[in-house]
A and B are shown apart, each in its own frame.
Chain A
Protein backbone atom coordinates (compact mmCIF):
# COMPACT_ATOMS: atom_id res chain seq x y z
CA UNK A 1 0.00 0.00 0.00
CA UNK A 2 1.31 3.41 -0.95
CA UNK A 3 1.39 5.97 1.82
CA UNK A 4 2.91 9.33 2.56
CA UNK A 5 5.45 10.13 5.25
CA UNK A 6 7.49 13.15 6.30
CA UNK A 7 11.14 12.47 6.98
CA UNK A 8 13.83 14.69 8.34
CA UNK A 9 16.77 14.73 5.91
CA UNK A 10 18.96 17.34 7.59
CA UNK A 11 18.46 19.86 10.40
CA UNK A 12 15.31 21.90 9.79
CA UNK A 13 14.54 20.05 6.53
CA UNK A 14 11.63 17.69 6.10
CA UNK A 15 10.84 15.97 2.83
CA UNK A 16 7.83 14.04 1.56
CA UNK A 17 8.38 10.34 0.97
CA UNK A 18 5.99 7.86 -0.62
CA UNK A 19 6.42 4.56 1.20
CA UNK A 20 5.25 1.24 -0.17
CA UNK A 21 3.96 -0.57 2.91
CA UNK A 22 4.51 -4.31 2.85
CA UNK A 23 2.86 -5.78 5.94
CA UNK A 24 4.19 -8.95 7.58
CA UNK A 25 2.09 -11.84 8.85
CA UNK A 26 1.78 -10.50 12.39
CA UNK A 27 1.27 -6.83 11.46
CA UNK A 28 -1.76 -4.62 11.62
CA UNK A 29 -2.13 -1.56 9.44
CA UNK A 30 -2.89 1.59 11.36
CA UNK A 31 -4.10 4.95 10.14
CA UNK A 32 -2.33 7.42 12.41
CA UNK A 33 -4.88 9.89 13.76
CA UNK A 34 -3.03 11.92 16.41
CA UNK A 35 0.60 12.41 17.32
CA UNK A 36 2.65 14.66 19.57
CA UNK A 37 6.09 16.22 19.29
CA UNK A 38 8.59 15.37 22.02
CA UNK A 39 11.76 17.19 23.07
CA UNK A 40 13.79 14.43 21.39
CA UNK A 41 12.02 15.18 18.08
CA UNK A 42 12.87 18.86 18.49
CA UNK A 43 16.53 17.97 19.10
CA UNK A 44 16.56 16.04 15.80
CA UNK A 45 14.76 18.86 14.03
CA UNK A 46 17.16 21.51 15.26
CA UNK A 47 20.16 19.24 14.74
CA UNK A 48 21.08 19.41 18.43
CA UNK A 49 22.95 16.13 18.36
CA UNK A 50 26.43 15.26 17.17
CA UNK A 51 26.38 15.62 13.36
CA UNK A 52 27.91 12.18 12.87
CA UNK A 53 25.10 10.66 14.93
CA UNK A 54 22.55 12.61 12.93
CA UNK A 55 24.08 11.61 9.61
CA UNK A 56 23.54 7.97 10.56
CA UNK A 57 19.86 8.61 11.31
CA UNK A 58 18.70 10.88 8.48
CA UNK A 59 16.44 10.42 6.57
CA UNK A 60 14.03 9.32 9.28
CA UNK A 61 10.39 9.80 10.22
CA UNK A 62 10.17 11.53 13.59
CA UNK A 63 7.53 11.23 16.35
CA UNK A 64 7.11 8.36 18.78
CA UNK A 65 3.91 9.47 20.51
CA UNK A 66 0.99 8.44 18.32
CA UNK A 67 -2.42 6.78 18.31
CA UNK A 68 -4.57 5.63 15.44
CA UNK A 69 -7.24 3.35 14.08
CA UNK A 70 -6.85 -0.19 12.77
CA UNK A 71 -7.64 -0.32 9.06
CA UNK A 72 -6.42 -3.86 8.36
CA UNK A 73 -5.23 -6.67 10.57
CA UNK A 74 -3.16 -9.67 9.53
CA UNK A 75 -2.55 -10.88 13.09
CA UNK A 76 -6.10 -11.83 14.03
CA UNK A 77 -5.83 -9.82 17.24
CA UNK A 78 -7.63 -6.63 16.24
CA UNK A 79 -10.77 -5.60 14.41
CA UNK A 80 -11.00 -2.86 11.82
CA UNK A 81 -11.97 0.48 13.35
CA UNK A 82 -10.46 -0.17 16.78
CA UNK A 83 -8.57 2.67 18.44
CA UNK A 84 -5.00 1.80 19.33
CA UNK A 85 -1.77 3.22 20.73
CA UNK A 86 1.59 2.39 19.16
CA UNK A 87 4.44 1.28 21.42
CA UNK A 88 7.64 2.75 19.98
CA UNK A 89 10.04 0.32 21.72
CA UNK A 90 10.25 -2.74 19.47
CA UNK A 91 12.01 -5.97 20.39
CA UNK A 92 11.37 -8.17 17.39
CA UNK A 93 14.82 -9.68 17.10
CA UNK A 94 15.07 -11.23 20.55
CA UNK A 95 17.75 -13.93 20.80
CA UNK A 96 16.55 -15.31 24.10
CA UNK A 97 18.89 -18.32 24.26
CA UNK A 98 22.00 -16.29 23.43
CA UNK A 99 21.08 -13.18 25.39
CA UNK A 100 23.36 -12.32 28.30
CA UNK A 101 21.38 -9.32 29.53
CA UNK A 102 17.95 -10.82 30.23
CA UNK A 103 16.69 -7.36 31.16
CA UNK A 104 13.24 -8.32 29.93
CA UNK A 105 12.93 -10.79 32.82
CA UNK A 106 13.52 -8.07 35.43
CA UNK A 107 10.32 -6.16 36.17
CA UNK A 108 12.27 -3.09 37.28
CA UNK A 109 13.99 -3.00 33.89
CA UNK A 110 12.19 -4.71 31.01
CA UNK A 111 12.42 -4.62 27.23
CA UNK A 112 13.00 -0.87 27.12
CA UNK A 113 16.55 -1.54 28.36
CA UNK A 114 17.26 -4.28 25.81
CA UNK A 115 20.35 -3.36 23.81
CA UNK A 116 18.76 -4.96 20.74
CA UNK A 117 15.56 -2.91 20.99
CA UNK A 118 14.58 -0.58 18.18
CA UNK A 119 12.95 2.71 19.02
CA UNK A 120 10.71 4.59 16.62
CA UNK A 121 12.19 7.97 15.70
CA UNK A 122 15.60 7.05 17.11
CA UNK A 123 17.00 4.02 15.32
CA UNK A 124 13.81 3.15 13.44
CA UNK A 125 11.31 5.19 11.47
CA UNK A 126 8.87 7.03 13.72
CA UNK A 127 5.18 7.78 13.29
CA UNK A 128 5.06 10.86 11.03
CA UNK A 129 3.33 8.73 8.44
CA UNK A 130 -0.21 8.63 7.20
CA UNK A 131 -0.46 4.84 7.48
CA UNK A 132 1.87 2.34 9.09
CA UNK A 133 2.25 -1.44 9.14
CA UNK A 134 3.19 -2.26 12.72
CA UNK A 135 3.83 -5.46 14.70
CA UNK A 136 0.66 -6.44 16.56
CA UNK A 137 2.70 -7.14 19.71
CA UNK A 138 3.46 -3.41 19.84
CA UNK A 139 -0.13 -2.25 19.45
CA UNK A 140 -2.30 -1.59 22.50
CA UNK A 141 -6.08 -1.35 22.28
CA UNK A 142 -7.80 1.81 23.55
CA UNK A 143 -11.40 1.72 24.76
CA UNK A 144 -13.94 3.81 22.85
CA UNK A 145 -14.73 6.07 25.81
CA UNK A 146 -11.21 7.55 25.68
CA UNK A 147 -10.64 10.38 23.21
CA UNK A 148 -7.74 9.68 20.91
CA UNK A 149 -6.45 13.24 21.28
CA UNK A 150 -6.00 12.54 25.02
CA UNK A 151 -4.82 8.95 24.53
CA UNK A 152 -1.85 10.32 22.61
CA UNK A 153 -0.39 11.10 26.07
CA UNK A 154 -0.22 7.33 26.71
CA UNK A 155 3.45 7.25 25.75
CA UNK A 156 4.39 9.84 28.38
CA UNK A 157 2.16 8.12 30.96
CA UNK A 158 3.90 4.84 30.17
CA UNK A 159 7.29 6.53 30.70
CA UNK A 160 6.07 7.80 34.10
CA UNK A 161 5.02 4.23 34.94
CA UNK A 162 8.43 2.93 33.86
CA UNK A 163 10.09 5.45 36.19
CA UNK A 164 7.90 4.50 39.14
CA UNK A 165 8.44 0.75 38.76
CA UNK A 166 12.22 1.29 38.64
CA UNK A 167 12.36 1.41 42.48
CA UNK A 168 10.40 0.18 45.47
CA UNK A 169 8.54 2.90 47.35
CA UNK A 170 7.94 2.19 51.03
CA UNK A 171 4.90 3.78 52.68
CA UNK A 172 7.21 5.69 55.06
CA UNK A 173 9.37 7.08 52.27
CA UNK A 174 9.20 10.81 51.71
CA UNK A 175 8.91 11.26 47.96
CA UNK A 176 9.54 14.30 45.76
CA UNK A 177 9.17 14.99 42.05
CA UNK A 178 11.75 17.48 40.78
CA UNK A 179 10.67 19.45 37.72
CA UNK A 180 7.52 21.29 36.68
CA UNK A 181 7.43 20.17 33.05
CA UNK A 182 5.04 17.80 31.38
CA UNK A 183 6.78 14.59 32.51
CA UNK A 184 6.84 15.85 36.12
CA UNK A 185 3.13 16.66 35.86
CA UNK A 186 2.24 13.22 34.52
CA UNK A 187 4.43 11.44 37.05
CA UNK A 188 2.69 13.38 39.83
CA UNK A 189 -0.71 12.50 38.36
CA UNK A 190 0.17 8.80 38.32
CA UNK A 191 1.58 8.87 41.87
CA UNK A 192 -1.47 10.74 43.17
CA UNK A 193 -4.33 9.04 41.34
CA UNK A 194 -3.03 5.53 40.89
CA UNK A 195 -0.49 4.83 43.64
CA UNK A 196 -1.95 7.15 46.31
CA UNK A 197 1.54 8.22 47.40
CA UNK A 198 2.11 11.44 49.39
CA UNK A 199 4.76 13.58 47.76
CA UNK A 200 6.11 17.06 47.15
CA UNK A 201 6.77 18.66 43.78
CA UNK A 202 9.64 21.07 43.34
CA UNK A 203 9.97 23.51 40.47
CA UNK A 204 10.62 27.02 39.26
CA UNK A 205 7.27 28.12 37.84
CA UNK A 206 4.57 28.70 40.41
CA UNK A 207 1.77 29.04 37.82
CA UNK A 208 2.60 25.53 36.63
CA UNK A 209 3.15 24.02 40.06
CA UNK A 210 -0.34 25.11 41.11
CA UNK A 211 -1.74 22.79 38.46
CA UNK A 212 0.07 19.73 39.84
CA UNK A 213 -1.68 17.10 41.90
CA UNK A 214 0.85 17.09 44.75
CA UNK A 215 0.38 17.33 48.49
CA UNK A 216 2.52 20.44 48.46
CA UNK A 217 4.82 22.29 46.13
CA UNK A 218 8.10 24.09 46.75
CA UNK A 219 9.14 26.96 44.53
CA UNK A 220 12.85 27.16 43.78
CA UNK A 221 14.10 30.69 43.49
CA UNK A 222 17.48 31.78 42.27
CA UNK A 223 18.84 31.87 45.81
CA UNK A 224 18.21 28.16 46.09
CA UNK A 225 18.12 26.91 49.64
CA UNK A 226 16.14 23.80 50.26
CA UNK A 227 15.97 21.89 53.49
CA UNK A 228 13.33 19.41 52.45
CA UNK A 229 13.32 16.01 54.02
CA UNK A 230 13.16 13.52 51.13
CA UNK A 231 14.19 9.91 50.64
CA UNK A 232 13.20 9.39 47.02
CA UNK A 233 13.39 11.95 44.23
CA UNK A 234 12.17 11.55 40.66
CA UNK A 235 14.22 13.94 38.54
CA UNK A 236 12.10 15.15 35.60
CA UNK A 237 14.05 18.24 34.54
CA UNK A 238 16.40 17.15 31.78
CA UNK A 239 17.50 19.55 29.04
CA UNK A 240 20.00 22.29 29.78
CA UNK A 241 19.01 22.53 33.46
CA UNK A 242 19.67 18.89 34.13
CA UNK A 243 23.06 19.42 35.81
CA UNK A 244 21.79 22.05 38.26
CA UNK A 245 18.77 19.98 39.14
CA UNK A 246 20.73 16.79 39.80
CA UNK A 247 23.25 18.56 42.03
CA UNK A 248 20.44 20.29 43.94
CA UNK A 249 18.82 16.91 44.49
CA UNK A 250 22.13 15.45 45.71
CA UNK A 251 22.42 18.38 48.14
CA UNK A 252 18.88 17.95 49.38
CA UNK A 253 18.19 14.23 49.58
CA UNK A 254 18.56 12.33 52.85
CA UNK A 255 21.51 9.95 53.31
CA UNK A 256 20.73 6.60 51.77
CA UNK A 257 18.23 8.25 49.41
CA UNK A 258 17.32 7.13 45.89
CA UNK A 259 17.36 9.38 42.84
CA UNK A 260 15.53 8.27 39.70
CA UNK A 261 16.83 10.19 36.69
CA UNK A 262 14.03 10.52 34.12
CA UNK A 263 14.95 13.76 32.34
CA UNK A 264 17.12 13.56 29.23
CA UNK A 265 19.99 16.08 29.50
CA UNK A 266 21.20 18.09 26.50
CA UNK A 267 24.81 17.29 27.42
CA UNK A 268 26.50 15.05 29.98
CA UNK A 269 26.09 16.73 33.39
CA UNK A 270 28.92 17.15 35.91
CA UNK A 271 27.57 15.84 39.15
CA UNK A 272 28.94 16.00 42.69
CA UNK A 273 30.10 12.40 42.98
CA UNK A 274 31.88 13.06 46.27
CA UNK A 275 28.56 13.97 47.89
CA UNK A 276 26.89 10.95 46.30
CA UNK A 277 29.49 8.78 48.03
CA UNK A 278 29.30 10.65 51.33
CA UNK A 279 25.51 10.34 51.48
CA UNK A 280 25.35 6.79 50.15
CA UNK A 281 22.90 7.87 47.47
CA UNK A 282 21.64 5.38 44.85
CA UNK A 283 21.04 6.78 41.38
CA UNK A 284 18.76 4.95 38.94
CA UNK A 285 18.51 5.63 35.25
CA UNK A 286 15.24 5.22 33.41
CA UNK A 287 14.51 5.44 29.76
CA UNK A 288 11.47 4.94 27.58
CA UNK A 289 8.84 2.31 28.36
CA UNK A 290 7.59 -1.07 27.21
CA UNK A 291 4.34 -2.72 26.18
CA UNK A 292 3.26 -3.45 29.78
CA UNK A 293 3.76 0.19 30.71
CA UNK A 294 1.45 1.08 27.82
CA UNK A 295 -1.20 -1.39 29.02
CA UNK A 296 -1.00 0.24 32.45
CA UNK A 297 -1.14 3.75 30.94
CA UNK A 298 -4.24 2.96 28.90
CA UNK A 299 -6.02 1.32 31.83
CA UNK A 300 -5.10 4.27 34.08
CA UNK A 301 -6.87 6.58 31.63
CA UNK A 302 -10.09 4.79 32.64
CA UNK A 303 -9.76 6.48 36.05
CA UNK A 304 -11.92 9.65 35.79
CA UNK A 305 -9.74 11.87 38.00
CA UNK A 306 -6.59 10.80 36.23
CA UNK A 307 -8.22 11.35 32.83
CA UNK A 308 -9.20 14.89 33.86
CA UNK A 309 -5.61 15.58 34.96
CA UNK A 310 -4.22 14.38 31.62
CA UNK A 311 -6.88 16.26 29.61
CA UNK A 312 -5.48 19.53 30.97
CA UNK A 313 -2.31 18.88 28.97
CA UNK A 314 -4.18 19.12 25.66
CA UNK A 315 -3.52 22.68 24.46
CA UNK A 316 -4.78 22.70 20.89
CA UNK A 317 -5.34 20.54 17.83
CA UNK A 318 -3.06 21.30 14.89
CA UNK A 319 -4.40 19.87 11.64
CA UNK A 320 -1.62 18.54 9.44
CA UNK A 321 -2.87 18.67 5.87
CA UNK A 322 0.56 18.93 4.28
CA UNK A 323 4.25 19.35 4.98
CA UNK A 324 3.96 23.12 5.58
CA UNK A 325 1.56 22.42 8.47
CA UNK A 326 4.12 19.92 9.79
CA UNK A 327 6.87 22.57 9.75
CA UNK A 328 4.56 25.03 11.54
CA UNK A 329 3.77 22.46 14.23
CA UNK A 330 7.46 22.00 15.00
CA UNK A 331 8.08 25.74 15.13
CA UNK A 332 5.08 26.15 17.47
CA UNK A 333 6.20 23.40 19.79
CA UNK A 334 9.72 24.85 19.99
CA UNK A 335 8.20 28.08 21.35
CA UNK A 336 5.69 26.35 23.62
CA UNK A 337 6.38 27.17 27.27
CA UNK A 338 2.96 26.14 28.54
CA UNK A 339 2.22 23.04 30.58
CA UNK A 340 0.90 20.82 27.81
CA UNK A 341 1.23 20.00 24.15
CA UNK A 342 -0.28 20.97 20.85
CA UNK A 343 -1.57 17.71 19.40
CA UNK A 344 -1.13 16.95 15.70
CA UNK A 345 -4.18 15.67 13.84
CA UNK A 346 -2.98 13.84 10.72
CA UNK A 347 -5.05 14.43 7.60
CA UNK A 348 -2.39 14.08 4.92
Chain B
Protein backbone atom coordinates (compact mmCIF):
# COMPACT_ATOMS: atom_id res chain seq x y z
CA UNK B 1 0.00 0.00 0.00
CA UNK B 2 1.16 3.55 -0.75
CA UNK B 3 -0.13 6.18 1.67
CA UNK B 4 0.26 9.90 1.02
CA UNK B 5 0.57 12.13 4.07
CA UNK B 6 -0.26 15.71 3.16
CA UNK B 7 0.99 18.30 5.62
CA UNK B 8 -1.46 21.16 6.02
CA UNK B 9 -0.82 21.94 9.67
CA UNK B 10 1.29 25.08 9.28
CA UNK B 11 0.25 28.67 9.96
CA UNK B 12 2.13 30.29 7.04
CA UNK B 13 3.05 33.51 8.76
CA UNK B 14 5.30 34.70 5.91
CA UNK B 15 2.27 35.35 3.68
CA UNK B 16 0.99 38.38 5.55
CA UNK B 17 -2.60 37.10 5.33
CA UNK B 18 -3.93 36.84 8.85
CA UNK B 19 -7.34 35.16 8.52
CA UNK B 20 -6.19 31.88 7.00
CA UNK B 21 -3.00 29.84 6.57
CA UNK B 22 -1.49 29.73 3.08
CA UNK B 23 -2.65 26.19 2.28
CA UNK B 24 -6.30 27.31 2.52
CA UNK B 25 -5.94 30.36 0.25
CA UNK B 26 -8.20 30.17 -2.77
CA UNK B 27 -6.55 29.89 -6.19
CA UNK B 28 -8.98 29.96 -9.12
CA UNK B 29 -11.90 28.58 -7.11
CA UNK B 30 -10.19 26.04 -4.85
CA UNK B 31 -7.95 26.14 -1.79
CA UNK B 32 -4.31 25.34 -2.54
CA UNK B 33 -4.63 22.26 -0.31
CA UNK B 34 -7.41 20.91 -2.55
CA UNK B 35 -5.35 21.44 -5.71
CA UNK B 36 -2.60 19.36 -4.07
CA UNK B 37 -4.99 16.68 -2.79
CA UNK B 38 -6.55 16.32 -6.24
CA UNK B 39 -3.19 15.35 -7.70
CA UNK B 40 -2.68 12.60 -5.12
CA UNK B 41 -6.33 11.50 -5.25
CA UNK B 42 -6.09 11.09 -9.04
CA UNK B 43 -2.77 9.25 -8.93
CA UNK B 44 -3.33 5.55 -9.57
CA UNK B 45 -0.31 4.59 -7.46
CA UNK B 46 -1.74 6.19 -4.31
CA UNK B 47 -4.05 3.96 -2.27
CA UNK B 48 -4.96 6.22 0.65
CA UNK B 49 -4.33 9.74 1.91
CA UNK B 50 -3.93 11.21 5.39
CA UNK B 51 -4.25 14.98 5.73
CA UNK B 52 -2.59 16.60 8.71
CA UNK B 53 -4.63 19.72 9.32
CA UNK B 54 -5.03 22.47 11.90
CA UNK B 55 -7.83 21.60 14.31
CA UNK B 56 -9.88 24.69 13.44
CA UNK B 57 -10.02 23.66 9.80
CA UNK B 58 -11.14 20.02 10.12
CA UNK B 59 -14.79 20.89 9.43
CA UNK B 60 -13.94 22.96 6.35
CA UNK B 61 -11.71 20.17 5.11
CA UNK B 62 -14.50 17.59 5.54
CA UNK B 63 -16.83 19.77 3.49
CA UNK B 64 -14.24 20.19 0.72
CA UNK B 65 -13.49 16.47 0.62
CA UNK B 66 -17.17 15.81 -0.13
CA UNK B 67 -17.53 18.71 -2.53
CA UNK B 68 -14.50 17.77 -4.62
CA UNK B 69 -15.04 14.00 -4.27
CA UNK B 70 -11.61 13.29 -2.83
CA UNK B 71 -12.39 9.70 -2.01
CA UNK B 72 -8.92 8.49 -1.11
CA UNK B 73 -8.65 10.68 1.99
CA UNK B 74 -9.11 8.19 4.84
CA UNK B 75 -7.74 10.17 7.75
CA UNK B 76 -7.87 13.78 8.94
CA UNK B 77 -5.07 14.06 11.48
CA UNK B 78 -4.52 16.70 14.18
CA UNK B 79 -1.73 19.10 13.34
CA UNK B 80 1.19 19.21 15.76
CA UNK B 81 3.04 22.17 17.21
CA UNK B 82 5.95 21.42 14.88
CA UNK B 83 6.30 19.76 11.47
CA UNK B 84 7.94 16.79 13.17
CA UNK B 85 4.99 16.37 15.54
CA UNK B 86 2.50 16.63 12.66
CA UNK B 87 4.23 13.82 10.76
CA UNK B 88 4.46 11.80 13.97
CA UNK B 89 0.70 12.18 14.51
CA UNK B 90 0.03 10.91 10.98
CA UNK B 91 2.36 7.93 11.41
CA UNK B 92 0.50 6.96 14.60
CA UNK B 93 -2.94 7.34 13.03
CA UNK B 94 -2.16 5.16 10.00
CA UNK B 95 -0.29 2.56 12.10
CA UNK B 96 -3.05 -0.04 12.23
CA UNK B 97 -3.54 0.11 8.45
CA UNK B 98 0.11 -0.16 7.46
CA UNK B 99 2.71 -2.88 7.50
CA UNK B 100 6.45 -2.27 7.57
CA UNK B 101 6.97 -2.41 3.81
CA UNK B 102 4.16 -0.02 2.93
CA UNK B 103 5.33 3.30 1.48
CA UNK B 104 4.54 6.62 3.14
CA UNK B 105 4.80 9.64 0.82
CA UNK B 106 5.03 12.85 2.86
CA UNK B 107 4.22 16.03 0.94
CA UNK B 108 3.66 19.71 1.69
CA UNK B 109 0.12 20.90 0.99
CA UNK B 110 1.64 24.13 -0.32
CA UNK B 111 3.33 22.40 -3.30
CA UNK B 112 0.37 21.98 -5.68
CA UNK B 113 2.44 21.46 -8.84
CA UNK B 114 4.04 18.17 -7.88
CA UNK B 115 4.23 15.97 -10.99
CA UNK B 116 3.17 12.37 -11.50
CA UNK B 117 6.76 11.57 -12.43
CA UNK B 118 8.03 12.77 -9.05
CA UNK B 119 5.37 10.77 -7.17
CA UNK B 120 6.07 7.63 -9.22
CA UNK B 121 9.85 7.84 -8.71
CA UNK B 122 9.36 8.49 -4.99
CA UNK B 123 7.36 5.28 -4.68
CA UNK B 124 9.66 3.20 -6.89
CA UNK B 125 12.85 4.31 -5.14
CA UNK B 126 11.37 4.16 -1.64
CA UNK B 127 10.43 0.53 -2.33
CA UNK B 128 13.98 -0.14 -3.49
CA UNK B 129 16.00 1.86 -0.95
CA UNK B 130 13.64 2.50 1.94
CA UNK B 131 14.07 6.28 2.11
CA UNK B 132 14.13 9.01 -0.54
CA UNK B 133 14.09 12.79 -0.70
CA UNK B 134 13.04 14.98 -3.64
CA UNK B 135 15.68 17.58 -4.44
CA UNK B 136 16.80 19.94 -7.20
CA UNK B 137 20.37 21.02 -7.86
CA UNK B 138 21.15 24.60 -6.93
CA UNK B 139 21.74 26.83 -9.93
CA UNK B 140 22.75 29.78 -7.73
CA UNK B 141 25.89 29.75 -5.65
CA UNK B 142 25.04 29.21 -1.99
CA UNK B 143 26.70 31.52 0.49
CA UNK B 144 27.12 30.64 4.16
CA UNK B 145 27.13 33.38 6.75
CA UNK B 146 27.02 32.77 10.46
CA UNK B 147 26.24 36.31 11.55
CA UNK B 148 24.30 37.64 8.55
CA UNK B 149 26.90 40.33 7.95
CA UNK B 150 29.85 38.66 6.31
CA UNK B 151 30.49 35.49 4.32
CA UNK B 152 31.73 32.57 6.36
CA UNK B 153 32.38 30.29 3.36
CA UNK B 154 31.14 29.31 -0.09
CA UNK B 155 30.30 25.59 -0.21
CA UNK B 156 30.98 23.66 -3.42
CA UNK B 157 27.86 24.15 -5.52
CA UNK B 158 27.84 20.76 -7.22
CA UNK B 159 27.43 19.10 -3.81
CA UNK B 160 24.42 21.22 -2.89
CA UNK B 161 20.76 20.57 -3.54
CA UNK B 162 17.54 22.22 -2.49
CA UNK B 163 15.14 19.97 -0.64
CA UNK B 164 11.54 19.71 -1.80
CA UNK B 165 8.83 17.20 -1.01
CA UNK B 166 7.64 14.44 -1.26
CA UNK B 167 9.94 12.58 1.09
CA UNK B 168 9.06 8.92 1.01
CA UNK B 169 9.86 6.00 3.27
CA UNK B 170 9.00 2.44 4.09
CA UNK B 171 6.63 2.64 7.03
CA UNK B 172 9.00 0.71 9.34
CA UNK B 173 11.84 3.15 8.61
CA UNK B 174 9.91 6.38 9.20
CA UNK B 175 8.40 4.93 12.38
CA UNK B 176 11.83 3.93 13.68
CA UNK B 177 13.27 7.36 12.74
CA UNK B 178 10.58 9.21 14.69
CA UNK B 179 10.88 6.88 17.71
CA UNK B 180 14.64 7.38 17.82
CA UNK B 181 14.32 11.15 17.40
CA UNK B 182 12.11 11.37 20.49
CA UNK B 183 14.57 9.19 22.46
CA UNK B 184 17.46 11.39 21.30
CA UNK B 185 15.61 14.57 22.25
CA UNK B 186 15.21 15.77 18.63
CA UNK B 187 11.81 17.43 18.61
CA UNK B 188 11.84 20.13 15.94
CA UNK B 189 13.38 18.62 12.80
CA UNK B 190 12.44 20.55 9.65
CA UNK B 191 12.30 17.42 7.57
CA UNK B 192 12.06 13.67 7.97
CA UNK B 193 15.22 12.73 6.07
CA UNK B 194 17.32 14.18 8.91
CA UNK B 195 15.61 11.76 11.27
CA UNK B 196 16.32 8.78 9.00
CA UNK B 197 19.97 9.84 8.68
CA UNK B 198 20.03 9.99 12.49
CA UNK B 199 19.33 6.22 12.39
CA UNK B 200 22.45 5.74 10.22
CA UNK B 201 20.32 4.78 7.24
CA UNK B 202 20.92 6.03 3.69
CA UNK B 203 18.49 8.40 2.03
CA UNK B 204 18.45 8.41 -1.78
CA UNK B 205 17.62 11.23 -4.14
CA UNK B 206 14.69 11.74 -6.52
CA UNK B 207 15.14 14.54 -9.02
CA UNK B 208 12.65 17.29 -8.28
CA UNK B 209 11.39 20.10 -10.51
CA UNK B 210 11.48 23.85 -10.19
CA UNK B 211 7.73 23.89 -10.82
CA UNK B 212 7.29 21.89 -7.62
CA UNK B 213 7.92 25.06 -5.64
CA UNK B 214 6.37 25.78 -2.26
CA UNK B 215 3.84 28.57 -1.90
CA UNK B 216 5.41 30.40 1.02
CA UNK B 217 5.24 34.09 0.17
CA UNK B 218 2.97 36.40 -1.80
CA UNK B 219 5.50 36.25 -4.65
CA UNK B 220 5.05 32.48 -4.85
CA UNK B 221 1.27 32.88 -4.90
CA UNK B 222 1.53 35.40 -7.72
CA UNK B 223 3.75 32.99 -9.64
CA UNK B 224 1.33 30.09 -9.18
CA UNK B 225 -1.62 32.16 -10.35
CA UNK B 226 0.32 33.45 -13.37
CA UNK B 227 1.31 29.92 -14.37
CA UNK B 228 -2.30 28.70 -14.21
CA UNK B 229 -3.51 31.80 -16.06
CA UNK B 230 -1.09 31.08 -18.91
CA UNK B 231 -2.74 27.67 -19.27
CA UNK B 232 -6.10 29.37 -19.71
CA UNK B 233 -4.72 31.57 -22.50
CA UNK B 234 -3.65 28.39 -24.29
CA UNK B 235 -7.19 26.97 -24.24
CA UNK B 236 -8.71 26.42 -27.66
Partners in one complex: yes
B 16-44 binary contact with A (CB < 8 Å = 1; else 0): 00000000000010000001001100111
Q: Is A347 at the interface (CB under 8 A from chain B)?
A: yes
B35 touches A2 (CB 8 A): yes
B115's partner among A19, A20, A81, A348 (CB-CB below 8 A) is A348
B44's partner among A7, A19, A71, A130 (CB-CB below 8 A) is A71
Residues of A near B231 (CB, < 8 A) are: 5, 17-20
A2's partner among B43, B112, B234 (CB-CB below 8 A) is B112
Q: Is A152 at the interface (CB under 8 A from chain B)?
A: no
Residues of A near B116 (CB, < 8 A) are: 31, 130, 347-348
Q: Is B113 at the interface (CB under 8 A from chain A)?
A: yes
Residues of B near A16 (CB, < 8 A) are: 211
A60 to B231, CA, bound (A): 11
Closest chain B residue to A74, Cβ basis: B69
B234 touches A17 (CB 8 A): yes
Q: A17-B234, A29-B42, A125-B236 are in contact. Are A72 and B211 (CB under 8 A)?
A: no
B42 touches A17 (CB 8 A): no
Residues of B near A5 (CB, < 8 A) are: 231, 234
B117 touches A321 (CB 8 A): yes
A16 to B231, CA, bound (A): 9
A236 to B44, CA, bound (A): 39
Q: Is B227 at the interface (CB under 8 A from chain A)?
A: yes
B 205-236 binary contact with A (CB < 8 Å = 1; else 0): 00001010000000000000001101111111
Q: A2-B35, A124-B236, A125-B235 are in contact. Are A20 and B117 (CB under 8 A)?
A: no
A72 touches B69 (CB 8 A): yes
Q: A125-B236, A321-B117 are in contact. Are A31 and B44 (CB under 8 A)?
A: yes
B117's partner among A19, A125, A348 (CB-CB below 8 A) is A348
A4 touches B115 (CB 8 A): yes
Quick one: which of B94-135 are within 8 Å of A by CB? 112-113, 115-117, 120
A7 to B120, CA, bound (A): 23
A17 touches B230 (CB 8 A): yes
Distance between A99 CB and nearest chain B CB, rounded to angstroms: 23
Q: Is A1 at the interface (CB under 8 A from chain B)?
A: yes
A71 touches B42 (CB 8 A): yes
Q: Is A123 at the interface (CB under 8 A from chain B)?
A: yes
Q: A2-B38, A2-B228 are in contact. Are A322 and B44 (CB under 8 A)?
A: no
A7 to B231, CA, bound (A): 10
A20's partner among B43, B44, B211, B232 (CB-CB below 8 A) is B232
Q: Is A69 at the interface (CB under 8 A from chain B)?
A: yes
B236 touches A20 (CB 8 A): no
Distance between A194 CB and nearest chain B CB, rounded to angstroms: 33
A 155-187 binary contact with B (CB < 8 Å = 1; else 0): 000000000000000000000000000000000
A31 to B44, CA, bound (A): 9
A81 touches B44 (CB 8 A): yes
Q: A2-B35, A130-B116 are in contact. Are A18 and B230 (CB under 8 A)?
A: yes
A 236-277 binary contact with B (CB < 8 Å = 1; else 0): 000000000000000000000000000000000000000000
Q: Is A131 at the interface (CB under 8 A from chain B)?
A: yes
A125 to B65, CA, bound (A): 30
Q: Is A11 at the interface (CB under 8 A from chain B)?
A: no
Closest chain B residue to A72, Cβ basis: B42
A123 to B113, CA, bound (A): 28
Quick one: which of A113-129 are within 8 Å of B by CB? 123-125
A18 to B115, CA, bound (A): 11
B115 touches A31 (CB 8 A): no
A69 to B45, CA, bound (A): 12
Distance between A331 CB and nearest chain B CB, rounded to angstroms: 21
B236 touches A123 (CB 8 A): yes
Q: Is A110 at the interface (CB under 8 A from chain B)?
A: no
A20 to B230, CA, bound (A): 10
Q: Is A59 at the interface (CB under 8 A from chain B)?
A: yes
A321 to B28, CA, bound (A): 27
| Apart from A71-B42, A123-B236: 16 A-B pairs, beta carbons within 8 A | A2-B38, A2-B112, A5-B231, A17-B231, A18-B113, A18-B211, A18-B227, A19-B231, A20-B228, A57-B236, A60-B234, A60-B236, A71-B43, A125-B234, A125-B235, A321-B117
A-B CB proximity, top 7 nearest: A19-B231, A1-B38, A59-B234, A71-B42, A17-B231, A347-B117, A18-B227
| B positions within 8 Å CB-CB of A | 28, 35, 38-39, 42-44, 69, 112-113, 115-117, 120, 209, 211, 227-228, 230-236
Between A and B, 14 residue pairs with Cβ closer than 8 Å are A1-B35, A2-B112, A2-B113, A4-B211, A5-B231, A18-B227, A18-B228, A19-B235, A20-B228, A59-B234, A60-B234, A123-B236, A125-B235, A348-B116
